[in-house]
């Protein structure tokens, strides 16, 4: 997204290596989810994180009665870490799209234990959360620019005198 793919690819490869290195203590559970399955619900407590190994997942946010898709992510992507490291609640629904998906479920507390002994894993998690925050800020900036442009356009139309025909 927006030219960051090489950086994300490097992160994905490092994350896979680190998770393999910690597989014994993390004891991930393989999950196969069908299209349309909701992996996490917005507002639920984050107890498990998932590593998407195959497939696609939509990130849907509820605002009142409306549901907005913020993004679609592909393998290899970690799901649930933002809420886990923030307030302990999922900020969105995570919905499988485009066919079945394969994931590895990791208990959050086990990941924290592994992070205590592996500074590389801590740095990668910090990098991931920071990247998600940076991307969110880019989206917010684009939305604000769009709102400002619409506002400016409406001011132009209001200030133009109407000419009789």
The string of pLDDT tens digits covering residues 82-97 is 888 888 899 999 999 9
Please tell me the predicted confidence (pLDDT) of residue 3.
Answer: 43
Q: Directed axis angle between helix 119-159 and helix 5-21, to 10°?
A: 150
d(CA 22, CA 11): 16
d(CA 123, CA 32): 29
Global pTM?
0.72
The string of pLDDT tens digits covering residues 110-134 is 888 887 877 777 777 777 777 777 7
Confidence band for 152, pLDDT divided at 50, 70 and 90: confident
């Amino acid at each position: 997204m927006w030219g960051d793919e090489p950086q994300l690819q490097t992160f994905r490869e490092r994350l896979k290596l680190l998770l393999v290195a910690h597989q014994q203590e993390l004891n991930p559970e393989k999950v196969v989810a069908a299209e349309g399955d909701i992996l996490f619900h917005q507002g639920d407590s984050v107890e498990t994180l998932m590593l998407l190994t195959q497939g696609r997942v939509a990130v849907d946010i509820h605002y009142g009665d409306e549901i907005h898709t913020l993004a679609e992510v592909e393998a290899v992507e970690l799901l649930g870490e933002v809420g886990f490291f923030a307030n302990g609640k999922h900020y969105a629904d995570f919905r499988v799209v485009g066919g079945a998906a394969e994931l590895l479920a990791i208990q959050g507390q086990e990941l924290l234990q592994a992070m205590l002994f592996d500074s590389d894993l801590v740095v990668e998690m910090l990098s991931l959360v920071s990247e998600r925050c940076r991307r969110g800020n880019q989206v917010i900036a684009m939305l604000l620019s769009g709102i400002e442009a619409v506002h400016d356009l409406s001011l132009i139309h209001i200030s133009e005198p109407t000419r009789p025909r």
